[in-house]
């Protein structure tokens, strides 16, 4: 059967892949929820959900740095990558070893399309359909919850030294918008470095969000920034719920409701 991944690469599968290497943490979690745990032979050191996988599966590197020899030795039928998580060089190296599927996620619709395709690729269509329907139900419920909320201006920090934020054309920005959080950096691209002085000159910022990943912001960073932004509420947020796609969305909308109640 022929397939086209999310960067429009066409590939053909003669049989259902039995040996999967996944280089994307959020997709590793999705594979387990699709019932494919026993087919996973290799993961990255950042594939921390579910936690027991790190002990069970071969670690083949990180998301930006892989051990090609380890991947070859595992003899995968398919390798799962992501355009943002993995480099072009990694994808090219993987393609020399096995069929390589690359996801490219910006919206919930992109996520649902990926889950649907995985259902076909891995012959688990009933489970993929169930996850899709559950995400849609929880998403619609959240949209009702958020309907009468006012729009708030936010900055979403992902890194320190240099200070970096999530901007447009990111899944984070999409979920901020879903929450009626207007990203003050929505006119910039991807993950720009910013000058805090630039931020201080803005008329209004309702909230500054400090993500738990990729930089592990802690309460001492709130104290650091509060001195520069005394009238802005600064909050630590769980980055997994804003940046992990796949089945993490089954839990994300509950977290978003809790966050709004906290605000």
Domain at 146-262: CATH code:
3.40.50.1980
What are the Cα distances from residue 112, in Å, to 118, 128, 133, 234? 10, 9, 9, 32
The predicted-structure confidence for 66-97, as pLDDT tens digits, reads as follows 999 999 999 999 999 999 999 999 999 999 99
pLDDT for residue 201: 78
What are the Cα distances from residue 69, in Å, to 80, 89, 96, 141? 17, 15, 12, 46
Predicted model pTM: 0.95
Cα dihedral across residues 83, 77, 128, 116: positive or negative: positive
Q: Which of 80, 90, 83, 88 is CA-nearest to residue 3?
A: 80
Is residue 202's pLDDT more than 90? Answer: no
- Count of all residues that appear for the chain in the document: 263
Query: Domain boundaries in the chain?
Result: 2-104, 146-262
* Least confident segment among 190-194, 195-199, 227-231, 251-255: 195-199
Average of per-residue pLDDT values in the chain: 96
Strand partners, 189: 168
- Give CA–CA dist 253/108, Å, rounded: 12
Decide if 46 contacts 62 (C-beta within 8 A): yes
Decide if 41 contacts 74 (C-beta within 8 A): yes
CATH T-level fold of 2-104: Rossmann fold (3.40.50)
Decide if 226 contacts 250 (C-beta within 8 A): no
Identical fold between 2-104 and 146-262:
yes
Decide if 7 contacts 113 (C-beta within 8 A): no
Distance of CA 164 to the CA centre of its chain: 17
Distance of CA 260 to the CA centre of its chain: 21
- Give CA–CA dist 119/205, Å, rounded: 42
- Give CA–CA dist 125/137, Å, rounded: 18
């Amino acid at each position: 059967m022929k397939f086209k991944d999310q960067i429009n690469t066409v590939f053909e599968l003669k049989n259902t892949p039995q040996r999967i290497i996944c280089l994307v943490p959020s997709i590793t979690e999705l594979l387990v929820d699709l019932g494919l745990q026993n087919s996973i032979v290799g993961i990255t050191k950042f594939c921390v959900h579910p936690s027991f996988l790190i002990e069970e599966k071969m670690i083949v590197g990180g998301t930006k740095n892989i051990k090609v020899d380890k991947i070859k030795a595992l003899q995968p039928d398919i390798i799962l990558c992501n355009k943002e998580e993995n480099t072009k060089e990694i994808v090219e190296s993987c393609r020399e070893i096995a069929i390589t599927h690359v996801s490219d996620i910006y919206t919930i619709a992109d996520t649902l399309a990926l889950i649907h395709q995985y259902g076909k690729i891995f012959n688990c269509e009933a489970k993929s359909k169930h996850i899709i329907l559950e995400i849609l139900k929880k998403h619609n419920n959240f949209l009702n919850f958020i309907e009468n909320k006012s729009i708030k201006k936010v900055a979403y920090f992902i890194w320190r030294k240099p200070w970096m934020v999530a901007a447009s054309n990111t899944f984070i920005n999409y979920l901020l918008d879903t929450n009626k959080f207007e990203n003050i950096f929505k006119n910039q691209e991807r993950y720009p470095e910013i000058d805090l002085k630039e931020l201080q000159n803005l008329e209004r910022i309702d909230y500054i969000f400090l993500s738990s990943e990729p930089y592990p912001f802690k309460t001492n960073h709130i104290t650091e920034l509060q001195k520069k932004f005394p009238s802005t509420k600064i909050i630590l947020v769980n980055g997994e719920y804003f940046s992990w796609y796949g089945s993490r969305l089954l839990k994300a909308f509950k977290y978003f409701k809790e966050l709004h109640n906290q605000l």
